[in-house]
């Protein structure tokens, strides 16, 4: 019985360490998109300075199976979408497959534009995998302050509940 209680106490104390890796990062799902001829499709995400957005894409069907890719911020996307001249942070001309990372200097909403305006006849099918690595000033990004504090409080409360229950059982057994 003592071994069982000891194991319960150990599991309760170490549960924050076991649960923290589950909250460590975000990986977006895969996208498969059909981009019509003379059109575009884009992904967007809010990034902070220091975050890293990694994009892997492949054109799997359609014509010459190549596409232009731009990385722009919110302002440049509005210009692009309106058909005006715009600037970009990254540009990949007529790639079939590519993996690249983008780390913004300022916090903003950023877009990856998959541009099929080079094709006036063929639609393109692309597969996209994205991954966002959020920057953290915490040397151990797996343990955020609020998450760690809440898990620690629940662990301590669990141990106290077990100790009170065991003490109550001992008093009850001594009374008999």
Residue among 56, 61, 60 at smallest CA distance from 92: 56
Tell me the angle at which helices 2-19 and 145-175 cross, rounded to the nearest 10 degrees. 170
CB-CB neighbours of 93 under 10 Å: 11
pLDDT (tens digit, 0 to 9) for every residue of the chain, 176 residues total?
A: 566 666 566 556 555 555 544 433 323 447 989 999 999 999 999 999 999 999 999 998 888 889 999 999 999 999 999 999 999 999 999 998 899 999 999 999 999 999 999 999 999 999 999 999 988 765 555 555 666 677 778 888 888 888 878 777 766 666 66
Distance from C-alpha of 23 to C-alpha of 31, rounded to nearest angstrom:
23
Give me the CATH code for the 26-133 domain, please. Answer: 2.60.120.380
Residues of the chain with CATH 2.60.120.380: 26-133
Distance from C-alpha of 108 to C-alpha of 75, rounded to nearest angstrom:
10
Q: Which residues contact 62 (CB under 8 A, 6 or more apart)?
A: 35, 119, 122, 123, 124, 125
What's the predicted TM-score (pTM) here?
0.61
């Amino acid at each position: 019985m003592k071994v069982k209680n000891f194991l319960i106490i150990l599991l309760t104390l170490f549960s924050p360490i076991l649960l923290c890796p589950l909250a460590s990062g975000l990986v977006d799902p895969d996208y498969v998109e059909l981009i019509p001829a003379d059109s575009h499709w884009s992904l967007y995400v809010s990034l902070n300075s220091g975050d890293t957005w990694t994009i892997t894409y492949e054109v799997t069907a359609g014509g010459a199976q190549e596409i232009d890719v731009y990385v722009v911020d919110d302002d440049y996307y509005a210009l692009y979408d309106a058909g005006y001249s715009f600037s970009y942070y990254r540009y990949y001309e007529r790639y079939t497959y590519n993996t690249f990372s983008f780390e913004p200097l300022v916090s903003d909403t950023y877009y990856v534009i998959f541009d099929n305006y080079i094709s006036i006849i063929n639609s393109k099918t692309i597969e996209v995998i994205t991954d966002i690595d959020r920057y953290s000033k915490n040397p151990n990004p797996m343990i955020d302050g609020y998450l760690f504090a809440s898990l620690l409080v629940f662990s301590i409360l669990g141990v106290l509940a077990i100790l009170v229950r065991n003490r109550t059982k001992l008093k009850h057994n001594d009374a008999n």
